[in-house]
Amino acid sequence: MNQIEINENPFVSEKGTTWCPGCGNFGILEALNQSLFEMGIKPQDVLMVSGIGQAAKLPHYINANGFNTLHGRALPAALGAHVANSALKVIVNSGDGDTYGEGGNHFLHNVRRNLDLVHIVHNNQVYGLTKGQGSPTTPLGQKTRLQVEGMRSDALNPVAMAVALKCSFVARSFSGNLPHLKAMIKAAMAHKGYALIDVLQPCISFNKINTFKWYKDRVYELDTSYDPTDENAAYEMALKYGDAGIPIGIIYSNPKPDFLSRIPHMKKPLVSIDRKPADIDTLLDRLT
């Protein structure tokens, strides 16, 4: 994309970032900027929600409404925001520690709710902002700045977990493959329900094992014959991770009613409902 086109994109922020040069986050930000612009969405209609961490700084680096909350807490904040105004398209950006560690409980339950949002997890298998501790996705035995003898816990496979939770849209992508990541973001945006994109990305400062090259050598795009609606096949595909290759693409697709569709009395966004004190008079009648 040339310079003139970038300037026309209203999502592109002129303000600098505090990410390390070469960070995988830049690829994700670029993919988001381009996807949203190309889909004809207005910045006013987007709410970028995040927790805390390097990935969670993203709302400050894009021109849209932003909601930079607390570590691990992006999802419950997104739940409230979405219920209040479903006309806003909610996009959550958070890291692997933020999402699967501190916010693990919220992840489980908001997938169950099938909130209509796009959740982009910047998964670099390490804690960046706190400088190099192991994350829930760091492999067993892998040495980190803190775990000098190696990780003592098994690594979490977030994609397999999401399939097991019957998450309605589960994709894996790679920050180094812009066209693929854009395709995933656009598909997730078009999906009604919880759309998880676990994005593999290098941390150039603190993860010397899972480098750009490490991912580049392993990721491969799913074959067009792959059927993401087959739950068993999806689970098998989700488990493929490591030296034998890492498939990227839409791993699982399970369309079902989203959270607000499950509340039939919600006919329009809550924020647009006018309320007045006398609304409770009928309730008082029942207390006499």
Partner 1 sequence: MRKTIGIAGAAGEGINTVQSFLEKNLKRQGYALISYKNYMSRVRGGFNYALITLSDDTVFAVEDKVDLLVALNSDAVKEAGTLLKQDGILLGLDVFKEVCAFSGRVIWVSEKQLKEISKIKMGIGMYAVGWILKYFGLSKGQLQGITHATWDASVQKENAQLLEFGYDAADGVYDYKRTEDRILVSGNQATALGALAAGLGFYAAYPMAPSTGIMNYLSSQEKTLGIVVEQVEDEIAAAMAAIGASTCGVRAMTGTSGGGFSLMVEALGFAAVAEVPLVMCNVQRPGPATGLPTRTEQADLSFVVNASQGEFARAVMAPIDVEDAFETSFRAFNVADQYQIPVILLTDQLLADTVKGIDRFDTSTLEVNRYLDTKDTEVYERYDFNQIEGRRRIPGLTQSLIMTDSHIHTSHGRVSETSEDTVALKHKFIKKMEALRRQAKPPLFYGDSAYETLFVCWGSTYGALREAVDLLNAKGHRIALLAFTDVYPLNEACMKPYIKPNIKVINVEGNAFNQFGKLLRLETGVAYDGTINRYDGRPFTGQWIVEAYEEGSF
Where do contacts with partner 1 occur on this chain (CB under 8 A)? 15, 43-45, 47, 49, 52, 57, 59-60, 63-70, 73, 75-85, 87-88, 105-106, 108-109, 263, 265-267, 270-271, 273, 275-284, 287-288
C-beta of 211 vs 272, nearer to partner 1: 272
State both tokens at 156.
Answer: 């979490």
CA 127 to chain centre: 17
Residue type, 61: Y
C-beta of 69 vs 125, nearer to partner 1: 69
C-beta of 152 vs 286, nearer to partner 1: 286
- The least CB distance from residue 231 to partner 1, in Å, is 24
- The least CB distance from residue 50 to partner 1, in Å, is 10
In three-state secondary structure terms, 179 is helix
Burial letters 222-255, b for 16+ CB under 10 A, else e:
beeeeebeeeeebeebbebbeeeebbbbbbbbbe
C-beta of 14 vs 243, nearer to partner 1: 14
State both tokens at 220.
Answer: 């491969």
- The least CB distance from residue 102 to partner 1, in Å, is 10
Q: Pick from 134, 129, 78, 132: which is nearest to 101 by CA?
A: 134
- The least CB distance from residue 264 to partner 1, in Å, is 9
C-beta of 79 vs 188, nearer to partner 1: 79
Q: How far is CA 93 from CA 86, 272, 280, in A?
A: 18, 27, 39
- The least CB distance from residue 2 to partner 1, in Å, is 25
The enclosing H or E element of 36 equals: helix 25-38
